[in-house]
């Protein structure tokens, strides 16, 4: 075993003479060159110090990553619940808005239909001119609309407009609130996108660092499992580097001892080792290099036999060939450690980035839920209250519009009915007059026959009968006359208007018009046949529509 065998930990080395080399003390210059090379190799202590720093950094990095990952997991579980609740609230608010908007649109559609029907009816009233025979002579033509008071319609329109405006204002406020709510959700979605991107990137890095043994996922946190093994590998590297440095120190000490036992080498050894670096060899608190070397230089020399001296020199020559390899191994190990710790720091930074993104999402949610979310919910309740109140008013107004339409439709129908009624009365009057004429003719015939018979009887028998036998013998037959008596006012009209003066219902004579004025004063307008036929056609058409609503 040589002094550079890091696994032995011993400074005793077997002598291995070189083949073809005669045993004998080497020149002092050769030993000095080995000492200088050994001293130069001890600069590897800087790598060992760096290895100790890397191990310390790796341990703290692992601890920080574990803490940050645990905090992120806790935040994530809370965020999932809060996000689910938040989107449920937004869905409820949107459903309230859509339901109110749909009901409002339906109510407006019904109002438009009812208002269109009313306006159409009012238009028909304007177009329907009252026949001149119904009105006093000289009066300007009037339509049925002139007999309608539209103040009720205007008041109803004003009430409905107020309800519609109030509902529109409440709906606009709700939509504005919902837009602000959506902006909040967009900000949260953006923060969630940052969180997911950071999680995906960290997961992919974790997958690469574990040589593809784990697959990253954008929906799950990266695994901590590779990090402990990476820290352990760093600790093993640091321990091996410390052991290698110890072997270099032993090689250096052996070179110093050999030079001191060589004639004239003591001064050279002190000159070469005068500026040796000081420091801890390994992380476990190994010996101080400078102290060990100074103690070795100042220690009294133990006597050595020639064979022992020769064996020492042989070990130095053999180990000198391996010293560069040991230095290269230390450099390779520190390079590997730098790569591993950089990967650890990258993963730690990924956990910190994920945690920061999760905190950003949580901050948005916390700010929203504590300040603005209650206002968004309250706005939905306010709209619901306003709409429920105005909906009842609109329903009442819709019923009033329908009632007015029905009333004015009834007015139109009644006017058509009046025309038919006038035609019916005139027809009855004509029938009465015909009966009177026929009866008059028959009575006149009977009267003449009776007069002729009486006269014949007087001529034939009058000379034989005394004049005082019967006073009525010489009288003419009786005559029948018809007297028209006014019907006065219908009983039902007087019952409906008990304070009305009956004379107000007496017909007034209208001369110069196409009317039928009898000696009783009753006036029956003489309407054109086409007007009567049109009114009758309209009434029949409405009657068919009532029986078959599908029929146009």
Q: What token pair was written down for 188?
A: 């949260």
Residue 371 is given by DSSP the state: I
Q: What pLDDT band is residue 277 in, cutting at 50, 70 and 90?
A: low
Q: What pLDDT band is residue 13 in, cutting at 50, 70 and 90?
A: very low
pLDDT of residue 467: 78
What are the tens digits of pLDDT across the range 495-508?
555 655 544 444 44
pLDDT of residue 265: 58
- Given a cut of 70, whether residue 74 has pLDDT beyond it is yes
pLDDT of residue 323: 82
Helix (H, G, I), strand (E, B) or coil at 504: helix
Helix (H, G, I), strand (E, B) or coil at 525: strand
Q: What token pair was written down for 542?
A: 């409405």
Distance CA 112, CA 251 (A): 107
Q: What pLDDT band is residue 6 in, cutting at 50, 70 and 90?
A: very low
pLDDT of residue 442: 94
- Given a cut of 90, whether residue 424 has pLDDT beyond it is yes
| Top mean-pLDDT range of 78-82, 275-279, 351-355, 498-502 | 351-355
Distance CA 208, CA 202 (A): 10
Whether the CB-CB separation of 42 and 249 falls below 8 Å is answered with yes
pLDDT of residue 14: 36
| pTM summary value | 0.60
pLDDT of residue 22: 45
Helix (H, G, I), strand (E, B) or coil at 299: coil
Q: What are the CA-CA distances from residue 41 to residues 33, 250, 255 (Å)?
A: 12, 12, 13
pLDDT of residue 440: 93
Phi, psi of 517, deg, nearest 5 = -110, 115
Closest CA to 96 of 160, 163, 170, 164: 170
- Given a cut of 60, whether residue 434 has pLDDT beyond it is yes
Residue 145 is given by DSSP the state: G
| Top mean-pLDDT range of 44-48, 77-81, 274-278 | 44-48
- Given a cut of 50, whether residue 279 has pLDDT beyond it is no
Q: What does the mean pLDDT of the chain come to? A: 79
Q: What percent of the chain has pLDDT over 90?
A: 26
Positive/negative CA dihedral, 165, 166, 168, 172: positive
Beta bridge partners of 523: 517
- Given a cut of 60, whether residue 295 has pLDDT beyond it is no
Distance CA 155, CA 134 (A): 31
Q: Taking CA 381 as the corner, what is the angle to CA 377 and CA 382, rounded to the nearest 5 degrees?
A: 115
Spatial CB neighbours of 477, under 8 Å, sequence gap ≥ 6: 447, 450, 451, 454
What are the tens digits of pLDDT across the range 441-477?
999 999 999 999 999 998 888 888 887 888 888 888 9
Phi, psi of 479, deg, nearest 5 = -115, 145
Q: What percent of the chain has pLDDT over 70?
A: 77
pLDDT of residue 284: 40
pLDDT of residue 59: 93
Task: Find the Cα–Cα–Cα–Cα dihedral 60, 66, 71, 74, rounded to 10°.
Answer: -170
Distance CA 443, CA 421 (A): 32
For range 309-313, the mean pLDDT: 76
pLDDT of residue 285: 41
What are the tens digits of pLDDT across the range 121-180?
999 999 989 988 888 888 889 998 888 888 888 898 999 999 999 999 999 999 998 998
- Given a cut of 70, whether residue 402 has pLDDT beyond it is yes
Spatial CB neighbours of 310, under 8 Å, sequence gap ≥ 6: 15, 17, 23, 24, 25
What are the tens digits of pLDDT across the range 97-135?
899 889 999 999 999 999 999 999 999 999 989 988 888
Q: What token pair was written down for 70?
A: 């645990």
For range 404-419, the mean pLDDT: 91
In this predicted structure, which of 43-47, 240-244, 316-320, 478-482 has the lowest mean pLDDT? 316-320
* Burial (CB count within 10 angstroms: exposed 0-12, middle 13-18, buried 19+), residue 316: buried
pLDDT of residue 214: 42
- Given a cut of 50, whether residue 280 has pLDDT beyond it is no
Phi, psi of 286, deg, nearest 5 = -70, 180
């Amino acid at each position: 075993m040589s002094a550079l065998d890091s696994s032995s930990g011993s400074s005793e080395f077997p002598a291995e003479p070189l083949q073809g080399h005669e045993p004998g003390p080497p020149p002092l210059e050769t030993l000095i060159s080995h000492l200088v090379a050994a001293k130069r190799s001890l600069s590897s202590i800087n790598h060992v110090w760096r290895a100790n720093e890397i191990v310390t950094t790796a341990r703290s990095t692992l601890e920080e990553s574990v803490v940050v990952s645990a905090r992120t997991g806790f935040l994530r579980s809370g965020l999932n619940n809060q996000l689910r609740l938040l989107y449920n609230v937004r869905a409820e608010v949107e459903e309230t808005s859509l339901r109110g908007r749909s009901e409002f649109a339906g109510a407006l559609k019904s109002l438009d239909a009812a208002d269109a029907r009313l306006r159409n009816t009012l238009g028909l009233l304007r177009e329907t001119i009252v026949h001149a025979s119904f009105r006093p002579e000289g009066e300007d033509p009037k339509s049925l609309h002139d007999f309608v008071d539209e103040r009720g319609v205007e008041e109803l329109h004003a009430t409905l407009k107020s309800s519609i405006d109030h509902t529109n204002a409440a709906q606009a406020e709700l939509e504005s609130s919902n837009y602000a709510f959506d902006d909040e959700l967009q900000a949260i979605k953006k923060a969630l996108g940052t969180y997911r991107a950071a999680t995906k990137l960290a997961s992919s890095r974790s997958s690469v660092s574990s040589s593809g043994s784990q697959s990253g996922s954008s929906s799950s946190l990266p695994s901590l499992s590779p990090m402990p093994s990476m820290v352990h590998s760093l600790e093993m590297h640091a321990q091996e580097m410390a052991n290698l440095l110890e072997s270099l120190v032993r090689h250096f000490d052996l070179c110093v001892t050999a030079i001191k036992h060589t004639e004239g080498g003591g001064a050279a050894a002190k000159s070469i080792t005068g500026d040796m670096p000081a420091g801890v060899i390994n992380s476990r608190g190994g010996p101080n290099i400078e102290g060990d070397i100074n103690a070795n230089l100042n220690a009294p020399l133990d006597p050595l036999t020639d064979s022992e001296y020769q064996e020492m020199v042989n070990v130095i020559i053999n180990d000198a060939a391996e010293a560069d390899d040991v230095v290269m191994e230390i450099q390779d190990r520190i390079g590997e450690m730098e790569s591993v710790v950089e990967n650890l720091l990258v993963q730690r930074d990924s956990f910190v980035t994920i945690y920061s993104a999760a905190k950003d999402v949580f901050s948005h949610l916390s700010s929203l839920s504590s300040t603005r979310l209650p206002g968004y919910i309250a706005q939905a309740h306010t709209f619901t209250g306003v709409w429920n109140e105005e909906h009842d008013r609109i329903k009442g107004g819709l019923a009033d519009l329908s009632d007015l339409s029905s009333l004015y439709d009834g007015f139109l129908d009644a006017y058509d009915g009046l025309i038919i009624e006038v035609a019916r009365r005139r027809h009855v009057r004509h029938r009465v007059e015909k009966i009177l004429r026929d009866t008059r003719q028959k009575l006149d015939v009977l009267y003449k026959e009776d007069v002729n018979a009486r006269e014949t009887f007087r001529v034939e028998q009058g000379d034989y009968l005394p004049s005082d036998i019967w006073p009525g013998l010489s009288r003419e037959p009786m005559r029948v006359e018809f007297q028209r008596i006014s019907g006065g006012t219908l009983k039902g009209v007087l019952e409906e208007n008990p304070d009305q003066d009956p004379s107000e219902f007496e017909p007034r004579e209208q001369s110069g018009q196409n009317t039928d004025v009898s000696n009783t004063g009753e006036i029956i307008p003489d309407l054109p046949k086409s007007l009567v036929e049109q009114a009758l056609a309209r009434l029949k058409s409405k009657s068919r529509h009532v029986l078959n609503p599908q029929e146009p």
